Structures are given as C-alpha cells and as structure tokens.
Structure 1
Amino acid sequence: MEEKYQIIEGRYIDSVLLMQISREIEKMQGVSKASCMVATAENISFLEMVGFHPPTGVSANSIIIAIQAESAQKCEEAINRAVHLIDTGIVQHKTSYTLDDLPDLIAPDDFPVVFISTPGEYVYDIVNKSLDSGANVHIFSSNVPTDQELRLKTKGASKGLFVMGPDCGTSIINGKGLGFSNALETKGDIGIIGSSGTGIQELSVLMDRNGLGISYAIGVGSNDLKEPINGIMSKQALNFLKERCSAIAFVCKNPDPSVERALLESLGDIPSVFISLGRDERYNTGNTYVTGNIDDGVSHLMSKIGKGHKIQQEPFPKMREISKERKLLRGFFVGGSLCYQAQAILHGMGVHVYSNAPTDNQYKVGKDFDNLNVCIDTGAEEYVAGKPHPMIDPVSRNSILVKESGRTDVRVILFDVILGYGSAEDPIAGLDQIRSGPVLVASICGTEKDIQGYQSIRRRLEDKGVVVFRSASRAAEYAGTMMR
C-alpha cells in the first residue's frame, strides 16, 4: 500500500466540504483511504490514529490531503482529483442570494429564518444585517464571544425576533426542522425550548414515538440560560409558545438558578416539564414537573395531557458472562446532551465515570484516560476543531469504538447513534470491524421516516452484536447494570 500527501497552504475550506471531498476520493478505484482536513494538531493526531503517517511541521493554516492507495500512480490520481475538487467545489448551487436580498424575499406572514454556519468571527455582522432586514436567525456556529451574543439577543428581543444560538444545533419551526432534526410523524401543538441540540432531538423523538405531537422547538444555544445572557431568548420563546401551544417542555444543562426560577414562575398553569439534564432531584411546582431525565420528563408530560402514564421501556436482555479481567466502561457519544445524561445515570448507579464534559468537575479528564471509566463527548471542541462534527462524519467517532472493542480490559462500550436531517446518511459507517468481546450497548435517536431508517440501522447494529435501545437513558441504565 502506497501513501502520498499534499499540503495546500493559506486556504480555508469548510470542514463539511472537505469531508465530502474525502468521501468522493475514497470512491475512486484503487484508493483505500482518503482524508482532506485542516491541518490542526488534533487532525494530524487523528490521521495517525487511523493509520496514516503524515509529515511533521505542517502549518495549522493549511489543508492536508492524505491518500492510501494500491500504487503510487493511484495516489497521484487521487491527489490531483482532490485538488481539483477543492479548487472548483463539489456542490453547485442553482440560485444564490445575498443578505441585501432579504427584504425582498420576506412576505408579510412569513416566519423568515437565516441559517448561519460560518466561523464564529463572521457571525456578528451577518446576524446584525439579518435582524435589520426583519429575519430571525438560527446560529449553528460556535465560538461567538459572549458579549456579542448578549448584544445580538438584546437587539433581537427588542425587534420581536429570535436569535437562536450561537451553538444551536436544532430547532423546529411550525413542524419544519432546522439543523439536526428528525422526521417526526405525530402532529400536535406541544412546544419545546432547549439549550441542547441532541437533548431537543431525543426529547422530540421520544415524544413523537409516544403520541405527543410537536409544533415548535426553539433552540436558544448553550449559553442562553447562563449569566450574563440570563435567558433572554428562553423568556421570549416561552411567551411565544404560551400563545400557540397546549404544553411546553424545557430541556437544558446547568441553568443559572435565577434564570431557572424566573422561567418556572413564568410557566404558570400551562402543563409543562423542565428537564435539567444531570439533576438528581425530581419535584412538582405548580403545573410543572422538574426532572433531570428525558424519559421521565416525557412520561410525566404524557400523564399531564392524557396520553398514558409512562413510556413503555424495553426489557433488558439476558445478562451474559463476562471475564473478570474486563472492568472498564468506555462511552463515546456524538450527542453532548446524551453524554451528560448518561454520566448522571451511571453515577447514580455507583459507576463513577470521567468525562471531558463532566456533570461534576471532580470527574473532569483531559486526553489521558486509557485506564478510566469514561463518557466522552466526541462532538466537543477539542475533537471537532478543523473537521466536521461526528454526527456529520461518523467515522471519526466510530473508529474510536472499533479500537476500544479490541481491548481485553473493556467490559462495556456505550454509544449513541443519531439519525435525521443533517446527520450522515450512514451513521454507523466505519463499524464493520467492531468486536463483540466487550458488551456493546447503543441507543438510536430517530424515526422510521428519517432518511437513514430506524429499523434498518437497528438491524445492522444488532447483526454486529450490539444491544440496542430506543432511548439513551435506557441504554445507560443497561450499561450500568452490566458493570455490577
């Protein structure tokens, strides 16, 4: 097998486009592996992990093309093709608009939304211009300074417009999904407000599966319920939804106590649940149920609006015998919210896990965690710098699962699979070589109407020996049980 590398200096290309180019090159005859990435230190380490031997001293402001092929000629052909696609683009748009066109595109009864996915330093000017044109904004981008977020949300609120984000993965507007979202089947008028994208997805899918229809899910971004933002968009979303919805569900992580109190008071008599992921306590206040678990929140919402009393949970399969040498639990998630919830469940079962995004800072871990029980958010900044999120390019996370499955000291491997719009067409790509020495446990967040197909993905996972659950909470509970 031959290898060849090409460095393109001083170029910025969107990481999703680079991923698409990589996949296109891998389709070429004789090419075994292809990767086009921004040459960050993290990406160079990733290339080494998957079997490349990249050159040293490459500038982080460069693009690296890495090829493994059956011959030097095939490597050269692949490099030339990749360079051509980088120069000419792989996606052609039939119609192009600029922000100056916005006022002419918005009709009086529209709910116009500008979807923004650019590097964080460009967001402020784009959002300002969009708000001035009368458009709401969904900011998928992260790394926007907090002071800019505060100014933008204050301006949006003064105009009665939504600033969803920054770092907003999911929204649903009048039944239509933005960002990462699922093809929901049940029609209804329940509203969701969320500061966590996969939290909104898991909540909306479980509600849909249990007969609760959603009309709106307003993603507010990961900082909205914290100081100094103080829930500006959450409060605006609540007022908006109370006029349009029969029930409301919040899902968030670590809200500021004063913001939480204000929101709970504002909910009033409308049937509602407030899900603060990772929280131990559960209680009622007025007509609102407060919990730290998504499944529990859905069950209580079902009872409040007459759809039954609780989610019907899947039974645990028969326990298998595991070697005593296998002691570790290794969890690797693409959904940060599901990673966070799993930690709380496992800690509650006496299985203490470390994380790069811990529920308790005493369990914070860096990059050295080979001999620890862990739940790692592989969508965190340190894993995605310069490359697509693992929901878009699942091979980066799945290659870790394959590597971990070959260890003789791992007892349980826990992971999530997220279907829907925005997610990879094949979210379990790269898992062909996974081994069933450890107990493999997964949850699938998705519906049969999602383009990936829930049942198809489930069957393929089960064929690999994976124990599959419909909810991330249930998967974490089973993983914890297997550690006893």
Structure 2
Amino acid sequence: MSDVLVNEIRRGFYLDSVALMRLSREVAGAEGVIEAALMMGSPSNLAIMRDAGLIEAGCDARPNDLVLGLRARDAAAAEAARALALEGLDRPRASAAAEDWRPRSIAAATEALPAANLALVSVPGDFAATEARRALGRGLNVLMFSDNVALEDERSLKLEARERGLLMMGPDCGTAILNGTPLAFANRVARGAVGIVGASGTGIQEVSCLVSEAGRGISHAIGVGGRDLKHEIGGITTMMALELLDADPATDRIVLISKPPHPEVAAAVLDRIAQSAKPHVVCFIGADPMDLPPGATQAFTLHEAAEMALDGARIGAGFSPDAAPRDMQGERRAGRIEGLFCGGTLAAEAQIVLRRAGRNPVSNAPVPGVAHVGDGAAGDRVLDLGADEYTRGRPHPMIDPSVRDEMLARALGDDAVGAILLDLVIGFGAHDDPAGQTAEVLAAHAGPRPPVVASVTGTAADPQDKARQAATLRAAGIVVAPSNAQASALAVTLAQTARAEAAS
C-alpha cells in the first residue's frame, strides 16, 4: 500500500514559527505518520515542503495562508493526523476569551500597550523586514527571531535603527536576556554584572548559564544575529550593544561571542573595545590568537569565556575530564567520537576541544581548520543537527530532540564508535524533557554500546530544571559533565585511552 499525502490550506491564518514547530512535532509523532509539517505559505516554506514531498503539485497557497502537509502509512492514520492538526490550530481560538484579545498588528499592539519599547518579530522571512520597519517607526527596539531575510534588508534595518537610537537584534536572533527577561530561546539566569553580546544563541546560553550557576549573574545578554559581523553588515548592532553595556552602570565586564568576524569588522570591534575602561572577554570561536587591546582577554572556548568572566574561578572544579568516572557505563573500545549536537556553537566548541587534543574532527559545520564531513575525510564526526540539512520541514532539535534519535540509536550499535558526545539545551522555548527523550533511546538499545557523555546547558531555575535533567541522564547510564567543553574533553580521554589500551 502506498503512502497517503494530505494537504490542508487555511486562508489568511497565522501562527508564529515556534508554535507551528511544536504542533508539527505533535502531528509528526502521531501513530502511522511518516512526516508532517505546518508552515506559512511563503515561497521559501513551500520549497521546503515540496523538497520534503509534503505538498501536492499545483498547491495554490499564498504567503498569508497556513499549509498543512503530512504523509501517513494509510488513509486512517492520515485522517487521524489531519484531525489532530486541525484541533491544534483551533485550540488557541477555542480557548480565547474576550479578555484574552490579542492585537493582530504592530499598530494595534502599541495602542494597547503604549509603554512597550520592544517588538519580537517571528514571522516568515518574506514579511519580517516589513514588520520590523513598522516597529522601528513606532520607536520600538526589535528582536527578529525570523531568518531568511535578505542581507540588504538586514543592513537597511540596522542603519535605520541606529539612526533612531534603537537596537535591531537579528535577523535569526535566537536568544536575548534584557533587564532579566529571557527572550526567545533563553534561560532563567541570576541578575548580575556580566554583560554579553553574542552572534550565537547557544553561545549566549552556555556562557550565561555557566556564569549564573557559578554564583554570579547577567546584567543583559544582547543577541545581534548570526550575520552581524559579516563584512556586508559591519557589526552595526554589535557596536551599539558594546556601547550600551559600556555605559550601563550595572555591567562591570563584557563578554563578546561570535564566529570569527570579517577582518575589517574585527578590527573595528577591537578599536571600540580599546575605548572602554571595562574588562572584555573576546570569544571568536575558531579564531587564531589575536592582539587585543589592554583590558581585553581572548577565550578560545565558551567554557574559558565563562571562567574569565568569573575572574578565573574554575567551573566544575570537582570534575576531571582526564579520567573516566568509576561508575561510567559502556564498553571501552577504540574508535571515533560521534558528536550529535543541537547547538551549533556547542558543536563548534567541541571541534576546538578535539583539535586541541590532536584529533582530526570533521563536521557539517566546520570551524576554520576542520574538514567538511562530506569531503571524504576520516576522523571524529561532530554534527550540528540544527543545520538546514537536518531541519528542512522539521522542528529544530532544541524544540524536538527526536531529530537525533535515529542517529543516536545507530551510533550506539556502531562498533567503530568509541564515545558518543551529546548536548542538551533547556530553557524557554526548548523541549519539555530532552533528557527523558534521550534516555528512551538508550533504554531501547540492546547489547553493548560505547560510553555516552553529555552536558546540559541551562539552570536550576529553568522550567526543565538542570539538576533534574542531569539526574535523568545519569540514571540512563550517561556521564554528565559540568560544561560542553568538559564533556568534549572527557570524550577525548575515553577515545584515546581505549586506543592506547587496544594497541598495548
């Protein structure tokens, strides 16, 4: 019997991307469903669904229409999944009372809340620039969660924001913490005197959580979007964020996190840092050693950046990445390290740790000096499962960690794998129980397996509770390290010790 494809179009119906991702995950997990997605009908989204085989030829959805596409094993499963999706779409409207009225435009929102000073834009990329411009025109700072926005639009918006004295965070800004308020994918951290500027969402999350869990806190964490430090943009928002934190009396030191910027942009940023009397930590993941101005120090990993922000206090001082824990489960075997990551910057940090240890990782998102996994090079594999090739038509693994379930199951049974390395990112917007999901995969595995090492990016105050997540992982036989860098270092120890033992 052939698969059954179902399409449903809701004309003029909008839900934000995070809500649609969550509902997509719910429908995709229904019995008999092969794949499912709910997306707004923008050209880019329709292309994604078409590539995934989730829409019929001739689909006439318009950009302001919501599209359901699902493939199921039979007609009964398809109809049940369709009903589940429609129920989910109706849920917000069915529960909405008159007092729960929500505005449908920037204009209506500012009229209802005239004291507001920030708009969070999470609409399809084709419309995001227009909505951001409307928000700027009304005197609002903007956090743009949306991606797929043209570079020329990003630059234009940031120039306009600068002229108006407003912050334009994004596009593709996944994390910010402003005045103690976590926005998008962020964590509930303690208030304190450490300010963060980041072109990396998970980089901000890791550093802010490590600092908070170590007893200090965050004044503000300003996300700038992943492209802000490109030559075409010139670091417009980064420079503004540095100036704001430099002038903020509640901030006594500043951490800057990014992939290596364009050289001209890096020079301009360092010139701005040189004008400040506050200490700065510069963490350009994958960059070579740099000449920094007085008062600035370079961190090569997120772990190092957090420790420098803590005046050198050690994180995870009681944990030794140089020795296997006595209660570690798994078969000691020579083989490669298999890194399966939800966070792109955490995957980059793992590559740095592996390279420092003399290993030769490959990755689908390589840092400078690391080979691409598709180029035929052998070595440890560090995969960013949040990259486009794994998320086209599917929720991000921070929202739905089942994206890596099948890959984890294969790695557990692969004799060529000497250690498995995982990250779990919790907080607002993330999956309710990623540790439980991971534990289920290990429970379903029969036979010998390699050791599994993980870290949890989050805090005890997060909805998922970092301590509870770590306890679930340990109960499943997973070694939990205090940070992603320490987890990566332990994976190196396990792989290299097993290789030495096999050679003796």
Q: Shorter-normalised TM-score: what interval? A: 0.7 to 0.9
| 1:217 Cα deviation after fit | 0.7
Deviation at 1:397, TM superposition (A): 2.1
Alignment of 1:286 onto 2:285: no
1:212 shift after superposition: 2.0
> What corresponds to 1:50 in structure 2?
none
The one-character-per-residue Cα deviations of 1:438-469 (angstroms, maximum 9, x if unpaired) are 12111110111111111111111112211111
1:385-404 mapped onto 2 (5 Å cutoff): 385-404=392-411
Alpha-carbon contact 1:395-1:429 (below 8 Å) kept: no
Alpha-carbon distance in structure 2 between the residues aligned to 1:45 and 1:126: 28
Report the equivalent of 1:119: 124
Shift of 1:280: 4.8
2:459 corresponds to 1:460? no
Pairing 1:233–2:232 present: no
Aligned to 2:36: 36
> Partners in 2 of 1:37 and 1:88 — Cα distance?
16
Matched, 1:7 2:11: no
Number of aligned positions between the proteins: 462
Alpha-carbon displacement from aligned partner over 1:69-123 (angstroms, at most 9, x marks no partner): 9xx75x3662352353366355655322111224424546x5x211111221111
**Counterpart selection for 2:432 from 425, 432, 452:** 425
Identity of aligned residues (%): 31
What secondary structure, in the 3-state scheme, does the structure 2 residue paired with 1:483 have? helix
| Alignment RMSD | 3.2
- When structure 1 is superposed on structure 2, of 290-299 and 83-92 the one drifting more is 83-92
* Cα distance in 2, alignment partners of residues 129 and 250 from structure 1: 29
Question: Which residue pairs with 1:331 in the alignment?
Answer: 339
Q: Secondary structure at the match of 1:339?
A: helix
1:482 paired with 2:494, answer: yes
How many angstroms does 1:353 deviate by? 1.0
Partner of 2:421: 414
Which AA in structure 2 matches 1:295?
A: H
Compared CA separation, residues 378 and 26, structure 1 to 2 (3 A): closer
Q: Is the 8 A contact 1:328 1:371 kept in 2?
A: no
Q: 1:311 aligns with which of 315, 323, 327?
A: 315
| More divergent stretch after superposition (152-161 vs 251-260) | 251-260
1:171 paired with 2:176, answer: yes
Go from structure 1 to structure 2 and tell me whether the alpha carbon gap of 1:17 and 1:101 turns closer, same or farther (over 3 Å shift): closer
Secondary structure in 2 matching 1:144:
coil
Check 1:384–1:429 CA distance in 2 against 1; reply closer, same or farther (3 A cut). Answer: farther
List aligned pairs for 1:215-230, cutoff 5 A: 215-230=219-234
CA 45–330 in structure 1, closer or farther in 2 if over 3 Å, else same: farther
Moved more, 116-125 or 58-67: 58-67
Amino acid at match of 1:375: V
For residues 193 and 258 of structure 1, the distance between their equivalents in structure 2, rounded to whole angstroms, comes to 19
Q: Kindly indicate whether the alpha-carbon contact (under 8 Å) linking 2:361 and 2:379 is maintained by their aligned counterparts in 1.
A: yes
Q: Which residue of 2 aligns with 1:360?
A: 368
Contact 2:124 2:146 in 1 (8 A): yes
Paired letter, 2:170 = G
- When residues 87 and 207 of structure 1 are mapped into structure 2, their CA distance, relative to the original with a 3 A threshold, is closer
Q: Which residue of 1 aligns with 2:265?
A: 259
Structure 1 pair 257–80 and aligned structure 2 pair: CA distance change class (3 A): closer
Aligned with 2:363: secondary structure? coil
Instruction: State TM-score, norm by structure 1.
Output: 0.86
Contact persistence 2:24–2:395 (CA under 8 A) = no
Give the AA of the match of 2:413. G
Q: For 1:55 and 1:223, how far apart are their aligned partners in 2?
A: 30
* Matches for 1:115-194 after TM superposition, within 5 Å: 115-184=120-189, 186-194=190-198
- The residue matched to 1:188 in structure 2 has which SS? strand
Structure 2 segments unaligned to the other structure (5+ residues): 39-44, 62-66, 497-504
Code of the residue aligned with 2:230 in structure 1: it is K
Q: 1:4·1:76 contact (CA, 8 Å) conserved in 2?
A: no
Cα distance change of structure 1 residues 279 and 76 upon mapping to structure 2, 3 Å threshold: closer
In structure 2, the residue matched to 1:78 is 80
Mapping 1:61-100, distance limit 5 Å: 63-67=68-72, 75=77, 78-82=80-84, 84-85=86-87, 88=90, 94-97=100-103, 98-100=105-107
Shift in alpha-carbon separation, 1:291–1:66, aligned structure 2, 3 A: same
**Contact 1:175–1:215 at 8 Å: present in 2 too?**
yes
State how far apart, in whole Å, the 2-side matches of 1:295 and 1:115 are. Answer: 29
Normalised TM-score (structure 2)? 0.82
